């Protein structure tokens, strides 16, 4: 049977699914991710944009200019404000799913950390993972 990843927001208004398997995941310590989530970092799971399907509700989008100078769009539930997806102008075919919004987030295995130069001292940093002081690909 094909794996289907499912997830949604805190209030349950927005539900999404996409065919598995889980894509690459990474920690992002950038200041915008701190603001957007209220946490020390965010963990995003890469997914092909074409396969992500919102099955109920609608997301609201907020676009800002990242430190790279390119647009980043964060999408969230307009009812409860839970962050769900991030889309980067530089890779329009991909979506980062907020790992914590998955129904089974325990299966996510982050493989690297980016923007560690912005990491707060109280953020957990896995010493075994490759780190990038800024974006991994810029
Ligand atoms: Zn919600
Ligand atoms: Zn970030």
The answer to whether 97 and 85 are in contact (CB under 8 A) is yes
User: What's the whole-model pTM score?
Assistant: 0.92
Which residues have their alpha-adjacent CB atom under 5 A from ion ligand 1? 9, 11, 13, 77, 79-80
* Separation of CA 9 and ligand 1 centre (Å): 4
Return the SS3 of 100: helix
The answer to whether 59 and 78 are in contact (CB under 8 A) is yes
Q: Indicate which ligand has the atom closest to the C-alpha of 28.
A: 2
Q: Indicate which ligand has the atom closest to the C-alpha of 114.
A: 2
* Separation of CA 34 and ligand 2 centre (Å): 7
Q: Indicate which ligand has the atom closest to the C-alpha of 83.
A: 1
Per-residue pLDDT tens over the stretch 45-85: 999 999 999 999 999 999 999 877 899 999 999 999 999 99
Beta bridge partners of 94: 48
Return the SS3 of 117: helix
Per-residue pLDDT tens over the stretch 109-135: 999 999 999 999 999 888 899 999 998
Domains in the chain: boundaries = 4-132
CATH of domain 4-132: 3.90.1590.10
Per-residue pLDDT tens over the stretch 17-48: 999 888 999 999 999 999 999 999 999 999 99
Taken as a whole, the chain contains a residue count of: 138
Q: Indicate which ligand has the atom closest to the C-alpha of 36.
A: 2
């Amino acid at each position: 049977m094909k794996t289907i990843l499912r997830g949604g927001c805190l209030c349950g208004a927005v539900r999404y699914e996409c065919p598995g398997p889980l894509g690459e995941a990474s920690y992002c310590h950038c200041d915008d991710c701190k603001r957007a989530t209220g946490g020390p970092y965010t963990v995003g799971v890469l997914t092909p944009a074409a396969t992500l399907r919102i099955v109920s509700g609608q997301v609201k989008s907020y676009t800002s200019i990242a430190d790279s100078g390119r647009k980043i769009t964060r999408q969230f539930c307009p009812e409860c404000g839970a962050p769900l997806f991030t889309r980067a102008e530089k890779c329009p075919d991909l979506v980062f799913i907020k790992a914590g919004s998955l129904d089974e987030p325990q299966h996510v295995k982050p493989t690297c950390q980016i923007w560690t130069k912005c990491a707060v001292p109280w953020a957990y940093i896995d010493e075994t993972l490759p780190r990038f002081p800024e974006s991994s690909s810029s």
